C-alpha cells in the first residue's frame, strides 16, 4: 500500500500545477453584486445580502437592487413600495430611493432622496436621478427627460445636484466616471455628427469640472483615480481593434487619468475591472487577465461573467449552463457567485491570472507570436525554431544564389499543442487516481480485514 500512497502523492504534485487559479464556489445564486475586501454585496430573488468571505456567512439586508460596497458600507436603492414610504410626496410608491447599510452595526439607513444606481467611495455616494421621478428640471434645459448625477455625503447627510447629465456612475476618491446619453445631453460628444451614443465622461468633485473621453462605452470603473476602464464596441468606434476582419466585437478600453492616455491591448472582451496594474475581463465566457506592466495577457480556463477584481482575487458570476449545477438545486438555470484566487505557482513574480506561462517561470513574459502563450511554454515556438534551422541548413547546402529567400513556417500551419497536452495529462492523472481508489484500495482493505481475522 505504501507504493500506492507514494504514487498518489506524486500524482497530486503533478496535478496541482495544472490548476493556475484556486476556485471557491459559494453556491449562492445572484444576478448583481459588488465586492470589496472580505465583503460581497449581492442581489437575488429574495433580496439584498452581504456575504463574508472569511466566515462564509450571508446576512439579509433588505429588499433592494444595485449594491455597491466600500469599507463597511453597502449603498443600494429600493422602491418606495419596499420601504412603504412616499419619499418625494408625489402620491405614489413607484420611485427608487437611495439607502445604505452599515455592516458593523447591521443597520439600514435611509437618505430620503430619490435616485438609482448608487456607487460608494468613503462617505460619498454618487447616483443618478431621473427628472420625471421628481417632476423637476434638474439640469435646467427646459425638459424633464434626463438622468442627472447627484452626490450624497453620508457624514454630513447633504445632497448636491451637479446638474450634469449622466447615469451608471462609479465613484472614486475625488472623481466619478459615468455614461452620458447624447440624446439626453442634446449634443454630440464624440464628433461623429450624431447624438445616439453613450459617452464615458469624468466628473471632478473639487469644482465639478468634466473630462470627456469622447469614446462611446458602458459600465465604467476606476482605480485610485488613476486608471479608467470600460467596455466599448468596435462598430461605434469604427475600428477593428482585435484585427479579426470584422467590427462585431466588444473590447476593453483602458485609459490613464487625468491625461486620458490609452493603453492599447488590442484584445476583444467585456466587463473590465482594474486593480493596480492588472485588468481582468471576459472573453468568450472565460476570464482574461492583462498586465499593464509586462503588456502580456492570458486567457484562463475559467467560465465567468462580470468579474470584480480586488487585490489577489476576483469575484465573478458563472452561469450553470457552462459549469453544471453549482448550487445543488438540481437545475442549471442560475448564475452563481464564485471567487478566483490568484497565485504564482512558478514563483516568477507574475500573478497566474496574467501569467502567459503559469507553470514555467518567465518574468519577462516574452510572447513573440502574440498568441497569449509565452515563448517559454509555447510548443509552437520550438517547432518554428526547428523548422527555421532546417530551412537555413538546406538553403546553405543547396543554393549558391546571392539573394536567398527563407521559407519560414506560418503560425496557422501548426496546432497549439501545449494546452491540449496539459489537458490530456490532467485527464490521465485523474483516471489513474480513480483506478487506484476503486480497484486497489478495496482489495487492500479486504486483505487487512482478513489479516485481523474478521
Determine if residue 288 is left, alpha or beta; phi over 0 gives left, psi from -120 to 50 gives alpha, anything else beta.
beta
**Domain presence at residue 107:** yes
**Domain presence at residue 439:** no
| pLDDT surpasses 50 at 364 | yes
**Domain presence at residue 61:** yes
Q: How far apart are CA 167 and CA 176, in angstroms?
A: 11
* Cell numbers linked to 84: 412603504
**Domain presence at residue 322:** yes
Mean pLDDT of all residues in 317-321: 96
Tens of pLDDT, residue by residue over 259-277, are: 999 998 999 999 999 999 9
Mean pLDDT of all residues in 364-390: 71
Mean pLDDT of all residues in 208-223: 97
**Higher pLDDT pick, 386 / 205:** 205
Average pLDDT taken over every residue of the chain: 85
What does the buried/exposed string (b/e) look like for 203-234 if buried means 16 or more CB atoms within 10 Å of the residue's CB? bbbeeeeebebebbbebbbbbebebbbbbbbb
- pLDDT, residue 387, reads 54
* Band (417; pLDDT cuts 50, 70, 90): very low
**Domain presence at residue 1:** no
Task: Give me the CATH number covering residue 73.
Answer: 2.120.10.30
Q: In 34-162, which residue ranges form alpha helices assigned H by DSSP?
A: 80-83, 131-134
| pLDDT surpasses 60 at 383 | no
**Domain presence at residue 419:** no
- pLDDT, residue 410, reads 40
Distances (CA, A) of 183 to 117, 165, 189, 217: 20, 10, 10, 15
**Higher pLDDT pick, 425 / 386:** 425
**Domain presence at residue 132:** yes
Least confident stretch, 95-99, 108-112, 310-314, 416-420 = 416-420
Mean pLDDT of all residues in 7-35: 73
| pLDDT surpasses 50 at 140 | yes
Mean pLDDT of all residues in 182-210: 96
* Cell numbers linked to 100: 445604505
Tens of pLDDT, residue by residue over 40-80, are: 999 999 999 999 999 999 999 999 999 999 999 999 999 99
- Note down the domain range covering 27: 23-371
- pLDDT, residue 20, reads 56
- pLDDT, residue 447, reads 64
The count of structural domains within the chain is 1
Q: Are 51 and 26 in contact (CB under 8 A)?
A: yes
Amino acid at each position: 500500500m505504501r507504493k500506492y500512497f507514494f504514487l498518489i502523492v506524486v500524482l497530486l504534485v503533478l496535478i496541482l500545477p495544472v490548476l493556475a487559479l484556486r476556485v471557491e464556489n459559494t453556491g449562492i445564486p445572484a444576478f448583481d453584486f459588488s465586492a470589496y475586501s472580505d465583503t460581497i454585496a449581492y442581489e437575488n430573488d429574495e433580496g439584498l445580502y452581504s456575504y463574508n468571505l472569511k466566515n462564509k456567512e450571508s446576512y439579509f439586508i433588505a429588499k433592494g437592487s444595485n449594491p455597491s460596497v466600500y469599507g463597511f458600507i453597502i449603498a443600494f436603492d429600493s422602491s418606495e413600495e419596499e420601504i412603504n414610504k412616499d419619499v418625494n410626496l408625489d402620491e405614489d410608491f413607484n420611485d427608487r430611493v437611495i439607502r445604505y447599510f452599515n455592516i458593523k452595526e447591521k443597520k439600514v439607513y435611509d437618505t430620503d432622496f430619490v435616485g438609482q444606481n448608487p456607487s460608494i467611495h468613503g462617505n460619498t455616494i454618487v447616483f443618478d436621478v431621473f427628472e420625471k421621478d421628481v417632476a423637476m428640471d434638474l439640469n435646467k434645459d427646459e425638459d424633464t427627460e434626463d438622468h442627472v448625477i447627484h452626490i450624497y455625503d453620508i457624514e454630513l447627510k447633504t445632497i448636491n445636484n451637479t446638474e450634469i447629465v449622466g447615469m451608471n456612475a462609479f465613484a472614486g476618491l475625488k472623481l466619478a466616471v459615468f455614461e452620458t446619453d447624447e440624446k439626453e445631453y442634446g449634443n454630440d460628444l464624440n464628433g461623429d455628427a450624431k447624438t445616439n451614443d453613450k459617452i464615458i465622461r469624468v466628473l471632478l468633485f473639487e469644482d465639478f469640472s468634466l473630462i470627456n473621453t469622447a469614446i462611446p462605452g458602458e459600465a465604467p470603473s476606476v482605480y485610485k483615480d488613476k486608471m479608467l476602464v470600460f467596455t466599448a464596441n468596435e462598430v461605434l468606434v469604427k475600428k477593428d481593434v482585435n484585427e479579426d476582419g470584422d467590427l462585431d466585437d466588444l473590447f476593453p478600453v483602458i485609459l490613464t487619468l487625468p491625461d486620458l492616455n490609452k493603453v492599447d491591448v488590442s484584445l476583444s472582451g467585456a466587463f473590465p475591472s482594474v486593480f493596480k496594474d492588472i485588468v481582468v475581463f471576459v472573453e468568450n465566457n472565460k476570464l482574461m487577465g492583462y498586465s499593464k506592466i509586462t503588456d502580456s495577457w492570458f486567457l484562463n480556463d475559467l467560465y465567468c461573467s462580470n468579474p470584480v477584481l480586488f487585490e489577489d482575487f476576483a469575484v465573478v458570476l458563472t452561469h450553470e449552463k457552462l459549469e453544471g449545477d453549482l448550487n445543488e438545486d438540481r437545475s442549471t438555470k442560475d448564475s452563481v457567485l464564485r471567487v478566483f484566487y490568484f497565485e504564482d505557482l512558478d514563483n516568477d513574480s507574475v500573478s497566474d491570472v496574467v501569467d502567459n506561462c503559469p507553470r514555467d517561470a518567465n518574468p519577462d513574459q516574452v510572447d513573440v507570436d502574440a498568441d497569449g502563450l509565452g515563448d517559454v511554454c509555447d510548443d509552437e515556438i520550438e517547432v518554428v525554431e526547428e523548422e527555421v534551422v532546417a530551412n537555413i541548413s538546406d538553403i546553405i547546402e543547396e543554393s549558391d544564389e546571392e539573394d536567398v529567400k527563407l521559407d519560414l513556417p506560418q503560425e496557422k500551419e501548426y496546432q497549439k499543442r501545449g494546452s491540449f497536452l496539459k489537458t490530456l495529462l490532467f485527464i490521465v492523472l485523474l483516471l489513474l487516481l480513480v483506478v487506484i481508489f476503486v480497484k486497489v484500495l478495496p482489495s487492500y482493505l479486504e486483505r487487512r480485514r482478513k489479516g485481523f481475522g474478521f
